[in-house]
Structure 1
Amino acid sequence: MALEGRGPPSETNSPSPLPDVTRNRLPTLFEVLSRRTHPPVDLFSFYIYMRDQQRSVDYLDFWLDVAQHMSLCRHYVRELRRSVLVGTPDIEKEESKRSSRALEALGDMSHSPAGPSMYPSEKEREQNAQMSAYLREQPAHDSPQSSQERRARASTQLSAGTPYNLTSDSNSPAHTVAREDIRASAEKILYTFLLPGAEREITLPGSITIDITTAIEQDGRDDPEVFDVAKDYVFQAMERDAFPGFLRARALGNLIPPTIIARLIIGLIAMFGAFWTAFVLIFLDYSRLTRCWVRSIHFKL
């Protein structure tokens, strides 16, 4: 993701769940972010609205990047679990046995969209918690670096505009995800959106930013739970401050009450009648005062 911001989410890349075509109500923000809706209230339209009207597209980009980070973690754990079930080398080692048991306990990671922490079902919440716990227990095996070195590395990547080699469907990475990819994804989110002075810094309570920075830079965490509080905060902010205006502009703005159509028809008929009457009075040789009076009566009607 380059510093100038990602482009709008593609309209052709579809979601995980199919849209609910029988819904007889306005969609929720979670349904829009999960790509479960149709134009003009889809994710593409919401992105354009956040960019052009709200001027706060960085919040939406942060949400999308954190959701993509969750998808990276799920894909990594699914691939790891699949390789364990097929056959784990060094299975006699106690550490390998513990890792295998932890992966088997996770079950099959679902493709459900990454939403606020309060939205998933109890089973999904438990799976996400187990996945985060597993990633915390299995830290990335990269050489120790100071926070300044990591920031310099991330800044170089961001300036070069080197994105992850992922398809736009966040559930389907285009290559096998390595643990280093997860670590790089977490650092990129931190250095792009959260650190003070970042190019696309978003406004969050200071305690949230400090907790995330400490967790990533000092504790070495890169599991999805590290962003949960910030993600929920951004979701609630968009739901409260931006989404109602988006619905008014894109959904309610397209609704035309029947009374407006009826008044428009009556107005057009009255205008036609006024011009027709004035035209007839010209041939009947009525005075100009009479013609203006009759025409004004028609326009008032």
Structure 2
Amino acid sequence: MSHHDFVDAESRNRLPTLFEVLSRRTLAPVDLFSFYIYMRDQQRSVDYLDFWLDVSQHMLLCRHYVRELRRSVLVATPDMERADSKRSSTMLDNLENLGDIPLTEAGPSRLRHGFQENEKDRDADQRLSAFLRSEGQTTSPSRQNSLGSSGESAHQISSYGDGRDTPDSRLNDSTSPGHTVARNDIRASAEKILYTYLLPGSEREIMLPETMVSTIINLVEDDGRDDPEVFDPAKDYVFQAMERDAFPGFLQAKALGNMVPLSIILRLAFALISFGGGFWGAFYVVLRNKPRNIRCWIILPFAVAAYFIISYQYKIDPVMAFLGYSEYTFMNWAPIREPYVRKLLNKRALVTALIAFITAAALSILFIFVPGTML
């Protein structure tokens, strides 16, 4: 996360949007890493998120390629003019029209063409796709190899973004592909997305409208297109699906609570066991007419039971919330760094702790002061 994004997180007095999470503009526990873990472990639909990330990386790869091509053409212009002045002049004009391609996270096209990005960025994306379409039809072998070895770079791009990578490697904040980008890299990236997620029966096929999938297959395989606009409809569809079906649950789990489902179920089990022990002890001291100083011991099981049952009900551990920690996998806790989420969890922790205290106090007072009887 850049310094600018960190300042935005500090000043944001609301819950983040899905686009902010996917753009790495948020902090734990509502960051992209936490969302990836949630989609993998709880939503069981991480393939959709992987598809979105791979398409975003494809856009960044295209931007890197055009920037490097523009730089190399500008440097080599004198030699090219001597060899083929007309072709070099045309290429240079096309690259000059592209301007400076931004290396920022590419959001859904409905956001890129809306109010969330300025006109310059929208035009840059459109010019980028138009250039790649025209350049793909006229690319010569010499230019494909001018920016690096196509065989080596194709191997590198095929190894990148494998769905079986760990979240740490997939969610690297760097926008650099780590090597010089060749034209074949873009083609390999587009084919990898197609063969991994979209073709019927593919390894990690995601459910999309049949007409949308057929259109993308025709554009990539028949028309030979690999520009980012090919995947825009599918990317928008996946974004809307995650925004509708997964993201509300993610915010509820991470911004309003700080435990994973297994921990929540265990809290319920501990609460029931503690309640059983507490009620057994309470009835014992009442029916045996024990003095009040002995009856006070029932405060312990009732306090534990009330704490765990309230934690189960509200899906939050008040003590860990006060300490500033959130659970991202079972028994693995990470600091809460998003300021607004931390304030929100502290308020909820205070309320849940108060409810647990009142519950434990009410049960304890009832059995401590109720008149005893000897059976």
TM-score by length of 1: 0.76
Which range is displaced more, 169-178 or 225-234? 169-178
Q: Give the drift of 1:163.
A: 3.4
The CA distance in 2 between the partners of 1:170 and 1:204, in whole Å, is: 29
User: How big is each residue's C-alpha offset from its partner over 1:51-91, in whole Å with a ceiling of 9 and x where there is no partner?
Assistant: 11111111100001000100100001111111223332323
Matched ranges for 1:20-39 at <5 A: 20=8, 21-39=10-28
- The answer for the alignment partner of 1:126 in structure 2 is 123
Which range is displaced more, 199-208 or 118-127? 118-127
8 Å Cα contact 1:75/1:171 also seen in 2: no
- The answer for the alignment partner of 2:214 in structure 1 is 210
Q: Does 1:220 align with 2:224?
A: yes
Q: Give the drift of 1:96.
A: 1.8
Which range is displaced more, 101-110 or 235-244? 101-110
Which consecutive unaligned segments of at least 5 residues does structure 2 have?
142-154, 163-168, 259-344
- The answer for the alignment partner of 2:265 in structure 1 is none
Q: Does 1:55 align with 2:44?
A: yes
Provide closer, same or farther for how the CA distance between residues 57 and 229 of structure 1 changes in structure 2, counting only shifts above 3 A: same
Matched ranges for 1:245-264 at <5 A: 245-254=249-258, 255=345, 256=348, 258-264=350-356
2:80 to 85, 90, 99: 90
- The answer for the alignment partner of 2:132 in structure 1 is 135
- The answer for the alignment partner of 1:69 in structure 2 is 58
The CA distance in 1 between the partners of 2:161 and 2:207, in whole Å, is: 25
Q: Which runs of 4+ in 1 moved over 6 A?
A: 164-167
- The answer for the alignment partner of 1:99 in structure 2 is 91
The CA distance in 2 between the partners of 1:76 and 1:171, in whole Å, is: 13
For residue 117 of structure 1, what is the amino acid of its counterpart?
A: S
For the residue of structure 2 that corresponds to 1:198, the secondary structure is coil
8 Å Cα contact 1:194/1:201 also seen in 2: yes
- The answer for the alignment partner of 1:148 in structure 2 is none
Q: Give the drift of 1:98.
A: 1.4
Identity of aligned residues (%): 59
Provide closer, same or farther for how the CA distance between residues 287 and 194 of structure 1 changes in structure 2, counting only shifts above 3 A: closer
Q: Give the drift of 1:195.
A: 0.6
Matched ranges for 1:1-301 at <5 A: 14=1, 18-19=5-6, 20=8, 21-88=10-77, 89-91=79-81, 92-120=84-112, 121=117, 122-139=119-136, 140-141=139-140, 162-163=159-160, 168-254=172-258, 255=345, 256=348, 258-273=350-365, 277=369, 287-288=373-374
For the residue of structure 2 that corresponds to 1:191, the secondary structure is helix
User: How big is each residue's C-alpha offset from its partner over 1:231-282, in whole Å with a ceiling of 9 and x where there is no partner?
Assistant: 001100110111111111111224316543333223334455456657xx8x
8 Å Cα contact 1:50/1:60 also seen in 2: yes
Number of corresponding residues: 256
The CA distance in 2 between the partners of 1:47 and 1:71, in whole Å, is: 20
Q: Give the drift of 1:49.
A: 1.0
- The answer for the alignment partner of 1:299 in structure 2 is none
The CA distance in 1 between the partners of 2:203 and 2:223, in whole Å, is: 24
For residue 229 of structure 1, what is the amino acid of its counterpart?
A: P
8 Å Cα contact 1:78/1:109 also seen in 2: yes
